[in-house]
Structure 1
Amino acid sequence: MEIMKVEGLTKVIKKKTLIYDISFSIKQGEVFGFLGPNGAGKTTTIRMLTGMIKPTSGNIYINGWNIETDFSKAMRHMGGIVENPSLYLYMSGWENLKQRARLLDSNPTDKDLSDIVELIGLSSRIHEKAVHFSLGMKQRLGIGLALIGRPKMIILDEPINGLDPQGIIDVRNLIQYLSREKNISVFISSHILSELEHVLDRGIIIHEGKKVTDIEKKDLQEADKHTYQIEFQTELTKEEIKAIFHLHKVQIIHMTDSHIHFSTNTNGAQQILSSFINQKIVITHFLKKEKSLERIYLEAIGSKEKSV
Structure 2
Amino acid sequence: MTQPVLEISHLVKQIGAKTIINDISFSVEPGEIFGLLGPNGAGKTTIIRSIVKLINKTSGDIKILGQDIDTNHIEAIKNVGAIVENPEFYPYMTGLQNLKTFASMSRKKITDERIKEIVQLVHLEKAINNKVKTYSLGMRQRLGVAQALIHDPKLLIFDEPTNGLDPEGMKEFRLQMKDLAKQGVSVLVSSHLLNEMELLCDRFAIIEQGKLTHIADMKQEVVANEPQLKTFHMHLEPLDTAKQLLSSWNIDYILAEDGTAHFFIESVPSDIPQLVKNLALADISIFTVEPQTKSLEERFLEITKHNGGSMQ
Q: Structure 1 length as normaliser, TM-score?
A: 0.81
Aligned runs of 1:71-220 on 2, under 5 Å? 71-180=73-182, 182-220=183-221
CA distance 1:109–1:30, change in 2 (3 Å):
same
The amino acid across from 1:261 in the alignment is: S
- 1:147-201 deviation line (CA, Å, top 9, x unaligned): 0211001001111111112111111110110001x21001111122112222211
C-alpha change, 1:125 and 1:235, in structure 2 (3 Å) is closer
Stretches of structure 2 lacking an aligned partner (at least 5 in a row):
234-242, 252-264
Q: 1:263 to 1:58 in 2, by over 3 A?
A: farther
What per-residue deviation string (whole Å, max 9, x for no partner) do you get for residues 12-60 of structure 1?
0021100000000000000001101111001111100111011100000
2: CA distance, partners of 1:91 / 1:46: 29
Residue in structure 1 matched with residue 33 of structure 2 by the alignment: 31
Cα drift, residue 290 of structure 1: 5.6
Distance 2:76 2:131 in 1: 32
SS in 2 for 1:117: helix
User: In structure 1, what is the Cα distance between the partners aligned to 2:134 and 2:200?
Assistant: 29
Distance of 1:263 and 1:212 partners within structure 2: 31
Counterpart residue type for residue 35 of structure 1: L
The SS at the match of 2:174 is: helix
Structure-to-structure mapping, 1:53-72, within 5 angstroms = 53-72=55-74
Give the aligned partner of residue 277 of structure 1.
279
Structure 2 residue corresponding to 1:261, chosen from 247, 255, 267 = 267
Bigger shift: residues 7-16 or 164-173: 164-173
Cα distance in 1 between the residues matched to 2:276 and 2:102: 59
- Report if the CA contact (8 A) 1:201-1:220 is conserved: no
Give the Cα–Cα distance (whole angstroms) in 2 for the partners of residues 276 and 114 of structure 1: 62
Do the aligned partners of residues 218 and 281 (structure 1) sit closer, same or farther apart at CA in structure 2, a change above 3 Å counting? farther
| Gap regions ≥5 residues in structure 1 | 239-258
Aligned pairs, how many? 277
Residues 1:33 and 1:235: Cα distance change in structure 2 (over 3 Å): closer
Residues 3 and 152 of structure 1 are in contact (CA less than 8 Å); yes or no, is this contact kept in structure 2?
Answer: yes
Conserved 8 A contact 2:222-2:294: no
Aligned to 1:301: 304
In the other structure, the counterpart of 1:19 is 21
The 3 A distance-change label for structure 1 pair 50 and 275 is farther
C-alpha contact (below 8 Å) 1:60/1:66 kept by paired residues: yes
Partner SS state of residue 305, structure 1: coil
Question: What TM-score does the superposition give when structure 2 sets the normalisation length?
Answer: 0.80
Residue identity matched to 1:26: V
State the match for 1:47 in structure 2: 49
The farther-off stretch of 296-305 and 77-86 is: 296-305
CA displacement at 1:288 relative to structure 2: 8.2
* One-letter amino acid of the counterpart of residue 107, structure 1: K
Matched position secondary structure for 2:189:
strand
Identity of aligned residues (%): 39
- Relative to structure 2, which stretch is displaced further, 100-109 or 197-206? 100-109
The 3-state SS of whatever aligns with 2:5 is strand
Q: Is the 8 A contact 2:198 2:218 kept in 1?
A: no
Shift of 1:279: 3.3
Farther off after superposition, 35-44 or 86-95: 86-95
Alpha-carbon separation, structure 1, partners of 2:137 and 2:173: 11
3-state SS, counterpart of residue 307 of structure 2: helix
